[in-house]
Structure 1
């Protein structure tokens, strides 16, 4: 199975292939299938998903659209959370729930082995997780998971996990305006660990977004393309998983790989965080 070290740097995050609030089916299921198939046509070889998107909606769509999967496709999922009937995000974090969630993802996606599994911490989680990570390490030893990662985590949690089993990836919130993980990204790069940012445009002020728009206008690009291009140039260990429910937007996101920001652009964008 292809590993993260072999995938292209822009993949696809499938979370948006649902209804509002990441609950229920998409308004246009046929377009959702087209998005997934177009992603493969354009060379995407890394899809990020989870059983709790929908819940179950996204994984069912992925299987409908793409199974049997191209041999080069890496499917990465997340465990540690669940949704209630009102759409709230709740922990599903016991060792038994972690094990069950991995097997559920395997079954729903129709694969014998997952390319990756991220252990997802709820906001503010401060308790131990060694038992949960050990469960994932055991599933990896059984050949059911290729690589392991942490999501919404702290540097200290990365260190604790590393003492039990290798961490291949970290998935946290990060973008050009919100750079609390700068030191973590550099430390992970030194260790050969990938960093997968989510919310590449989350939490921008109008002033910050205006700066991104100015750089975008210079290149004839969109602000999202500039935000993605900045992330690609920020560090070589960053992998991207921008999500969309639109074929046109998918193509726009993938085109960001061809956008090269110059030193003046980078200086202007780096000033946003200050």
Structure 2
């Protein structure tokens, strides 16, 4: 069960979102990252803003030199000075953050560098232009986007190829269906963040299917995503090795046509 990013980076279709690595417990963080790789995860997602860069450092401490085939993707374009998340897409800032990520990850080139958020105060062409310049300098291999519309993807691709899109998507929140459909038509990887919806609560349809299959509700939610589209690459995050093992196990969970249809029809919360 693999997906090829940008035509040259094959990765397992169930990744690991590293945001919840415990920065206050480096040994536990290192063990969790190594466990993910041991379980067959080859795509790890992080960002410059997670714990002010410490998240990237923890991954490098745990995994560098990175095993063959492991892709560590990072992001820039959103700062997190306190409780707020603030888009920040000035070209000089994006270039600075890329340089810092290179240093923290201990790499000469970032395989996938994603624009974390589109900054509405900066022309999108300027933001993507900064990423294209990093590609031209050999510091970034592929470019991805996060929380974007179809129109923004099309605009960005006038400047450089877009190989991935990371939008919120799960059984409850399907506002990005048009984006997912566009990605599928054009061979762009779709990375749903928050892939395990609140609908996995006890008594839900997800829980009913899970009980029948001898699986966890989270595994069923992830299996639904994987079945939904061949370009889907969920990146569930956790700070628990137990939950990590469960999440990775979702890749081996087969949903019947009937179960998939029942889950596909379920809308536990509709957001306009």
Question: Same fold per TM (> 0.5)?
Answer: yes
Map 1:13-52; keep pairs closer than 5 Å: 13-18=17-22, 25-26=23-24, 28-52=25-49
Matched positions, count: 263
Distance in 2, matches of 1:206 and 1:125, equals 36
Select which of 9, 13, 16 maps to 2:13: 9
Matched, 1:69 2:103: no
Q: Distance in 2 between matches of 1:67 and 1:127?
A: 35
Please list, as runs of the form range in 1=range in 2, the aligned pairs for 1:203-214 lying within 5 A after superposition: 203-204=198-199, 210-214=204-208
Post-superposition CA distance 1:163-203 (Å, at most 9, x none): 11101000000012211222221221111111000111245
State the secondary structure of the residue aligned to 2:31. Answer: helix
CA RMSD for the aligned pairs? Answer: 2.0
Q: Report the Cα offset of residue 3 of structure 1.
A: 5.8
Shift of 1:91: 2.5
1:254 maps to what in 2? 248
Which residue in 2 is equivalent to 1:22?
Answer: none
Q: State the alpha-carbon separation in 1 of the partners of residues 201 and 245 from structure 2.
A: 26
Asked if 1:88 is matched to 2:94, the reply is no
The within-5 A match list for 1:91-240 is 91-121=87-117, 125=120, 128-204=123-199, 210-240=204-234
Q: CA deviation at 1:144?
A: 1.0
> 1: CA distance between counterparts of 2:238 and 2:252?
19
CA separation of 1:240/1:60 partners in 2, compared to 1, >3 Å: closer, same or farther?
same
Which residue in 2 is equivalent to 1:56? Answer: 53
Query: 1: CA distance between counterparts of 2:198 and 2:250?
Result: 21
TM-score with structure 1 setting the length: 0.90
- Structure 1 runs of 4+ aligned residues shifted over 6 Å read none
- For 1:127 and 1:53, the matched residues in 2 are separated by 23
Call closer, same or farther: CA 1:35–1:204 in 2, change over 3 Å.
same
SS in 2 for 1:112: coil
1:257 is paired with a residue of what secondary structure?
Answer: helix
For 2:253 and 2:67, the matched residues in 1 are separated by: 27
Change beyond 3 A, Cα 1:240–1:115: same
- Gapped runs of 5+ residues in structure 2? none
Distance 2:94 2:117 in 1: 12
Q: Are the counterparts in 2 of residues 31 and 247 from structure 1 also a CA contact under 8 Å?
A: no
The TM-score with structure 2 as length reference comes to 0.91
- The 1:159–1:94 alpha-carbon spacing in structure 2 relative to 1, beyond 3 Å, is same
Cα separation, 1, equivalents of 2:14 and 2:21: 18
